[in-house]
Amino acid sequence: MNESLISQRTLGVTFTNDSAVVRVWAPLAEAVSLRICHQDLVIPLQNDGAYWQTTTSQLKPGDTYTFILNNTTERPDPASLSQPESVHGPSQAVDTAQFVWTDSTWNNLPLESYLLYELHTGTFTPEGTFAGIEAKLDYFVELGINAIEIMPVAQFPGTRNWGYDGVCPYAVQNSYGGAAGLQRLVDACHRKGLAVVLDVVYNHMGPEGNYFADYGPYFTNKHRTPWGDALNFDDNYSDSVRRYFLENVLMWFRDFHIDALRLDAVHAIHDESELHILREIKQYVDQFMQETGRQYYLIIESDQNETRFIQPIASDGYGMDAQWNDEFHHALRVTAGGERSGYYADYDGIRHLAKSYRDAYVYDGTYMPRRAKIVGKPTGSHPGQQFVVFSQNHDQIGNRMLGERPSQLVSFSMQKLMAGAVMSSPYLPMLFMGEEWGELNPFLYFVSHSDPELIEAVRQGRKKEFAAFQTSVEAPDPQAAQTFERSRLRWERLTQEPHQTLFRYYQTLLSLRKKSPLRHPNRESVAVVMDDARQTLTLIRHHPNDAPIVC
Amino acid sequence: MNESLISQRTLGVTFTNDSAVVRVWAPLAEAVSLRICHQDLVIPLQNDGAYWQTTTSQLKPGDTYTFILNNTTERPDPASLSQPESVHGPSQAVDTAQFVWTDSTWNNLPLESYLLYELHTGTFTPEGTFAGIEAKLDYFVELGINAIEIMPVAQFPGTRNWGYDGVCPYAVQNSYGGAAGLQRLVDACHRKGLAVVLDVVYNHMGPEGNYFADYGPYFTNKHRTPWGDALNFDDNYSDSVRRYFLENVLMWFRDFHIDALRLDAVHAIHDESELHILREIKQYVDQFMQETGRQYYLIIESDQNETRFIQPIASDGYGMDAQWNDEFHHALRVTAGGERSGYYADYDGIRHLAKSYRDAYVYDGTYMPRRAKIVGKPTGSHPGQQFVVFSQNHDQIGNRMLGERPSQLVSFSMQKLMAGAVMSSPYLPMLFMGEEWGELNPFLYFVSHSDPELIEAVRQGRKKEFAAFQTSVEAPDPQAAQTFERSRLRWERLTQEPHQTLFRYYQTLLSLRKKSPLRHPNRESVAVVMDDARQTLTLIRHHPNDAPIVC
């Protein structure tokens, strides 16, 4: 372990006293210079092995800058904290220490008490900014959740994107409010007793503004992902790529006071090293927690159903605190009716839902037809707080051609039943923004690229993806501003029926969850009685100190 | 574990009583038939999930047959045991039980006593066959080795190939003598007290005659190897691909009495499953050993320097018995002089040789410049018998443009010194055929493809590989019969000087190894004294029951 990474960032620009320390990894470059834009000042960097660096008093917080590689190629900083002109423009030096935190009394919540609410900054409010979210903190408290999970905020091209096309993992999206805006939001959340989970993408980079290859072997063709060559976690040069992401993890906790990271699709992180990158991340976070005395969580998205990810470090696992459990969702949605195609084909409804209540994974060492192999491991004694469950999320809605939420697909009663099913589970429940009032607007797939070829490729890709549906309806254009606007929440519905009633129902459920035995995501406390003939499922939850609850 | 795989092969054709059981994996086929060539009889197979099968008395040992996929595509059996007309022709049914074994008193040697001799069947003798090797068994005994390691024998196109272009992992090369020829050779070896190690390739298939994609997803584009898409050990459908190789491992031990497998380049076997395929192979072999009461070894080639491969199953390793240690070779060759380019650049001679004597790996948690990252783990208490060392092998010779052996590169004294360095090591020594008399013929890269485009691609690839040498000498043509012929051993040298003298020297060394403390590959017994100024290295080997030896 490189202890020096714990206390501060070492990549990009950091400020100490009146100087900026500048460091960039460019192992194959012959020369690297820093260019400070407004002065048009070019400062050559010194080569210290694979890294290039300098200390200068010329670069001040707020200044824009670039790196010039081999005296010819001018590029933004791969560890830029701010991209005021988006992904192609210069980087901007940020001193994260300038923010005055007021959350010193905040302590992260115990993971088992997390009640999650996933949101997309751009479409959550009319403003589409962190400030917009900040104005809704009282609303969260009123609803009864205690942790917001923010979809990725790494700088992406334009102003409309789910966030998974980000190309600057250290830079907070400028149109959302940038680094300072995120710090302000987290600080405000903490004052309201709300934890903040940030979704981060360590399995690929977006296609536009992706200048990494100019700097070094960030990618390897040893492994492939749905987005192309894999990020290089195990090939030649990989130590520096690993460090790049390790520092990123620590930055969110240390400099932004984020309480937990949600690591996107870790099954697309390819690493055959003896020390898996997730395990190494956990080792660094453990060290950071030890030094700060604070608590931070790592939550993964994984489709592997393999317990090694959530097994503690001490038991040779990767030590992740929790994982999303998509299978609970799939079984629930099939049970709720209407879903049988695509990935739903492997789930047969009530029987699998009962299985997921009992065993978390549906496939836990059993043959999965769509993958044509045995999938998963039994979850054994892993506690319920290691599994996040939901009846909907950005993917499950947005990956439908028309982005329909359950509110447009199932009856009002079924929406309530699904909410109850999630909330009464011995797992961590998560809502998707707007579900609590049955928002009717879709959540569509949208982008705002600037490269015409890429725009066309995304359009065609989307059309092709849904060609099999053979419907007369056209897939909405991902690049159209309207597609984004149609995906925005309509808060006025909160004052209308039946939305108001549903909202109160969610309030009641969340309140019940917090006051009853349900608050303990305790798998041993669950008895599941399935009546296949009547297609009913009875869930009995109890806890030593409380009366049992029958759902 | 699928216990039914232990006692017999289930893939391809097996014989019970008077019937042939035929089984082939073709999960995406709509119809599969067996065609028995000489009768032109077509028998439809029954679909049992992803496998297609039948039991028939029409197919007899010796008959040729094919499979017809979807009533249109006629192909050899992927689990064929014989390809009498090479890779494109029909398969031939083989009843391995017809061979009458006479080695019932044979017991595998303890691994720590293995003295290995690597050979290539085609160029080892004028005959280029298993029968040719059989005629040399007394020679091996006279020399003093006790284990021959045969380069891969899986059917490849034509008659000239190192063996790494094989495409029928179950079929023994027809021009070498086929399945029965190999059985005869192993039986004869055992009667002479010689163990047989077989080199097998589970990291790729050759380019010509590679019909696997017609049958199913044997490959995945999730990972890439130097030869293209990786064999599918962890993607959808991988269970059946894993079974294909698991059965192959067991076949060599059970039906051919092979004593150990040498698994080629396992760093190119990509598997991110919770249960790594090597670990699963070991589990099956353990079960097989338990049921038979016999001993079999798994020896890997790996460039990863990661002890998890050779860690026992019980300590969460993959349980491989031993691995090749290329680093000992590299350090030795640099020490011997003349080698500094390519992969030798990371090795600085005597200091690294001393390190390898002490710690097996040279890079064991240290920064390797050519890979630009920290490589390896300390070998700790792993015994010396887990490392195979050599001063030359097929790769280290044949991957040179002109295929020169050390006999053409270093002095006679240095050849002797290198042999002594290997033999006095606390590891398992391995010779490469002909080194014991200082054979002067090269060991070149040769192929005998039939596809003109492929032939040209191989030629150009070879030229390109050596373009950097900027020499006036042309790279020998891999496809030319002469390139193969020039690589053949010239046994008449054994009666000439200085070859005869060198041979006696090797005899003496091997005899000394067997009679002295050297026979225990015991790392604790080694003291290494390095004199950097005088560039000398003193090795002291001792053992409780013997006087110490100073080398």
Q: How many residues does chain B have?
A: 551
Q: How far is CA A199 from the centre of its chain?
A: 2
User: For A65, left (φ over 0), alpha (ψ -120 to 50), or beta?
Assistant: beta
- Contact criterion met (CB below 8 Å) for B454 and B208: yes
B278 CA: distance to closest CA in chain A (Å): 13
Contact residues, chain B, for A306 at CB < 8 Å:
274
Q: Do A373 and B221 touch (CB under 8 A)?
A: no
Contacts of B373 in chain A (CB under 8 A): 236-240
Question: Cα Rg for chain A, rounded, in angstroms?
Answer: 23
Does A230 fall in a domain? no
Question: Could you tell me if residue A530 is inside a domain?
Answer: no
Quick one: pLDDT at residue B190? 98
DSSP for residue A343: G
Can you tell me the distance from the alpha carbon of B142 to that of B506, in angstroms, rounded to the nearest whole number? Answer: 11
User: Is residue B116 predicted with pLDDT exceeding 90?
Assistant: yes
What residues of A act catalytically? 264, 301
- Three-state DSSP at A509 gives helix
Q: Could you tell me the two tokens for A289?
A: 């927690």
Q: Tell whether B22 and B131 lie within a shared domain.
A: no
Determine whether the interchain pair A223/B221 forms a contact, defined as Cβ–Cβ distance below 8 Å: no
Q: Are residues A445 and A498 in the same domain?
A: yes
**pLDDT the model gives residue B328:** 97
> CA of A365: which chain B residue's CA is closest?
B274
Comparing CA positions, the residue from A418, A448, A388, A410 lying closest to residue A155 is A448
pLDDT digits (tens, 9 = 90+) for B209-232: 999 999 999 999 999 999 999 999
Residues A157 and A68 in one domain: no
Inter-CA distances, B406 with A152, B260, B428, B446, Å: 58, 27, 20, 20
Model confidence at B549: pLDDT above 80: no
Closest residue, chain A, to B371 (C-alpha): A236
User: What share of residues in chain A are helix, strand, coil (percent, to 5)?
Assistant: 35, 20, 45
Question: Which residues on B lie below 8 Å from A374 (Cβ)?
Answer: 239
Task: Look at residues A240, A252, A175 and name the one whose alpha carbon lies nearest to residue A212.
Answer: A240
β-strands A147-150, A116-119 pairing: parallel
Domain containing residue B65: CATH number: 2.60.40.10
State the amino acid at position B310 in one-letter form: I
* The dihedral sign for the CA sequence B446, B449, B455, B457: negative
Minimum CA–CA partner of B365 in chain A: A274
Does A178 map to a domain? yes
Pairing of strands B195-200, B147-150: parallel
- List chain B residues with CB under 8 Å of A307: 274
DSSP A259-308: -EEEETTGGG----SSS-HHHHHHHHHHHHHHHHT---EEEE--SS--GG
Q: Which of A80, A107, A88 is nearest to A13 (CA)?
A: A80
Inter-helix orientation angle B326-336/B412-423, to 10°: 150
Residue B333: which H helix or E strand, with range?
A: helix B326-336
Contacts with B232 from chain A: Cβ below 8 Å: none
Verify cis geometry, omega within 30 degrees of 0, for the bond prior to A84: no
The reply to whether residue B239 touches residue A308, judged by beta carbons under 8 angstroms, is: no
Q: Cα separation of A346 and A334, whole Å?
A: 10
Cα–Cα distance measured from residue A91 to residue A62, given in angstroms and rounded to the nearest whole number: 10
ipTM greater than 0.90: yes
Residue A11 resides in a domain = yes
Distance CA B393, CA A441 (A): 68
Of B236, B306, B372, the CB nearest to A372: B236
Tell me, yes or no, whether B267 and B336 share the same domain.
yes
* Rounded (10°) angle between helices B277-292 and B238-256: 40
Contact B236 A27 (CB under 8 A): no
Query: What are the b/e assignments for B154-182, b being 16+ CB within 10 Å?
Result: bbbbbebbbbbbbbbbbbbbbbbbbbebb
Strand ranges (E), A76-225: 91-92, 116-119, 147-150, 154-155, 168-172, 195-200, 219-225
Q: In this structure, are B92 and B146 located in the same domain?
A: no
Contacts of A471 by beta carbon, 8 Å cutoff, 6+ apart: A401
Given A63, A98, A133, the domain boundary residue is A98
Do B278 and B406 share a domain, yes or no? yes
Q: What residues of A are in contact with residue B306 (Cβ under 8 Å)? A: 274
Mutate to test the interface with B, among A1, A227, A274 (most CBs of B within 10 A): A274
CA distance A378 to A326: 16
CA distance A444 to A483: 7
Chain Cα centroid distance, residue B270: 18
Helix A326-336 vs helix A350-359: crossing angle, to nearest 10 = 150
A89: left (phi over 0), alpha (psi -120 to 50) or beta: beta
Task: Give the residue-averaged pLDDT of B134-154.
Answer: 98
A-B contacts at Cβ under 8 angstroms: 60
SS3 of residue A244 by DSSP: helix
Residue of B141, B122, B145 whose CA lies nearest to B133:
B122
Average pLDDT over residues B472-492: 94
Same domain, A21 and A146: no
Nearest beta carbon to residue B316 from set A223, A316, A377: A316
Beta-strand runs (E) in A6-157? 12-16, 19-25, 32-36, 41-44, 46-48, 51-56, 64-69, 73-75, 91-92, 116-119, 147-150, 154-155
**What pLDDT was estimated at residue B545?**
67
CB contact under 8 A, A373 and B237: yes
B221: left (phi over 0), alpha (psi -120 to 50) or beta: alpha
> Per the domain annotation, does B104 fall within a domain?
no
Residue A413 placed within a domain = yes
Task: Return the DSSP state at A233.
Answer: S
Same domain (yes/no): B62, B151: no
Measure B275 CA to nearest chain A CA, in Å. Answer: 10
Query: For position A383, which CATH number holds?
Result: 3.20.20.80
- Report the alpha-carbon distance of residue A131 to residue A182 in Å, rounded: 9
Task: Assess whether A427 and A312 both reside in one domain.
Answer: yes
The CA-based angle B386-B267-B119, given to 5 degrees, is 60
Of residues B181 and B515, the one with the higher pLDDT is: B181
* pLDDT of the residue at A532: 83
Say which residue the tokens 């996107």 belong to.
A264
In whole angstroms, give the CA distance from residue B76 to residue B88: 7
Order the strands of the B536-543 sheet from edge to edge.
Answer: B526-531, B536-543, B546-550
pLDDT exceeding 90 applies to what percent of chain B? Answer: 88
* Residue B63 domain flag: yes
What pLDDT shows up at residue B278?
98
**Domain check: are B129 and B91 in the same one?**
no
pLDDT reading at B51 higher than 80: yes
- Residue B300 in any domain: the answer is yes
Query: B306 and A236 in contact by Cβ < 8 A?
Result: no
**pLDDT score for B470:** 60
**Cβ(B310)–Cβ(B386) under 8 Å?**
yes
To the nearest whole angstrom, how far is the Cα of B272 from the nearest Cα of chain A? 7
pLDDT at B523: 87
Contact assessment for residue A12 and residue A80, using Cβ atoms and an 8 Å cutoff: yes
Look at residue B548 in the predicted model and tell me its pLDDT. Answer: 66
Per the CB < 8 Å rule, is A222 touching B223? yes
Quick one: B80 and B189 in the same domain? no
CA distances from B411 to B415, B418, B535 (A): 6, 10, 17
Are residues A308 and B222, on separate chains, in Cβ contact within 8 Å? no
Q: How many helices (H) and strands (E) does chain A have?
A: 15, 26
For residue A178, the enclosing domain spans 114-216+245-525
Residue B297 has which token pair? 């070894």
User: Residue ranges of chain A with pLDDT lower than 70?
Assistant: 468-471, 544-549
A152 and A81 inside one domain: no
DSSP-derived secondary structure letter, B108: P
Overall number of domains in chain A: 2
Contact B418, B411 (CB under 8 A): no
- Number of other CB atoms surrounding residue B21 within 10 Å: 17
Chain B, nearest residue to A267 by Cα: B272
Model confidence band, residue B547 (pLDDT cutoffs 50, 70, 90): low
Phi, psi of B158 (to 5 degrees): 75, -150
**Residue entry with tokens 């094989």:** B166
